[in-house]
Amino acid sequence: MSDTSMKVGAVVLTMGNRPDELRALLESVAKQTGDPIEVVVVGNGSPLPELSVPGLAVRTVELPENVGIPAGRNVGIEAFGPAGRDVDVLLFLDDDGHLPNQDTAQLCREAFAADPELGIISFRIADPDTGVTQRRHVPRLRASDPMRSSRVTTFLGGANAARTRVFADVGGLPDEFFYAHEETDLAWRALDAGWMIDYRSDMVLHHPTTAPSRHAVYHRMVARNRVWLARRNLPAPLVPVYVGVWLLLTLARRPSLPALRAWLGGFREGWTTPCGPRRPMKWRTVWRLTRLGRPPVI
């Protein structure tokens, strides 16, 4: 398929509390070169403002309650037909970000057309005022140079593009996670199915610098979902290794006592609550992750 024939859509999830930022994002999508992009905006437990943007087709879905980030994005995927099949590529964009460059969608079309094994592209997130990319926004262990593009083993949930064939192959994001690590769960399943993931420094989403770790719920869900991630996806011998390494890393970082209590509560919850279906990856996928620089024990 040539890049010019690829249909591109976009999914934006919002809680309705950033209307000005949301409009700025949609205006940046409307300015993308190439064929127009249809956008689905999902109101996650909130009503949506009027969203008419010149030159942009916007559909809205209002959910009666906050179902979490992965479930909300899955609703956006399904708005484009089962597994998003009405389009070839979906952009997933945070509602308080915007695309500073007008060729991002076209670069996505060209990348997917040039590489049939490429399933997901992770964009570079940069602060709009300083241009700085936080280390945590580079989805690899060697994150000191955010300007270096590379193959990676995960991606950023609110700044990426995915072939919809990936969702047809492996399913969507894990609804149960609500928030945190849902991208890695999908990434591991995609890699296990033979897809590849790229981090592209030239595809940029401007997003204000934030620190999600300031919230106790962050620590609980990060810990719970880390255990769920292992239980769902790793071969049995690697589950205790992966979880044990993350326990030691967390303790080594010396979190505050409230943060540690929240983390340990989530860690316990991860072992004692249902995590969804278990589909352990093949050992050759473990080797692929290792070759890509992130063995699934860290």
**pLDDT tens digits for range 264-297:** 999 999 999 999 999 999 999 999 999 999 999 9
Residue holding tokens 């979902």?
Answer: 225
Position 215 scores a pLDDT of 62
Position 4 scores a pLDDT of 62
Q: What is the CA radius of gyration of the chain?
A: 19
Q: Tell if the pTM clears 0.75, that is, is over it.
A: yes
Regions of the chain short of the pLDDT cut 70: 1-4, 211-215
Write phi, then psi, for 293 (nearest 5 degrees): 100, 5
Report DSSP letters for 235-249, one per residue. -TTHHHHHHHHHHHH
Q: Nearest CA to 223 among 273, 186, 187?
A: 273
Position 260 scores a pLDDT of 94
Q: Is 91 exposed, middle or buried (0-12, 13-18, 19+ CB in 10 A)?
A: buried
Q: Nearest CA to 102 among 30, 33, 35, 204?
A: 33
Q: Nearest CA to 153 among 181, 187, 177?
A: 187
Please answer whether residues 173 and 74 qualify as being in contact, where contact means their C-beta atoms are separated by less than 8 angstroms: yes
Q: Nearest CA to 59 among 45, 75, 71?
A: 75
3-state secondary structure of 152: strand
Position 298 scores a pLDDT of 85
Q: Which residues pair with 56 in a beta bridge?
A: 53
- Residues 22-72: tens digit of each pLDDT: 999 999 999 999 999 999 999 999 999 889 999 999 999 999 999 999 999
DSSP annotation of 115: -
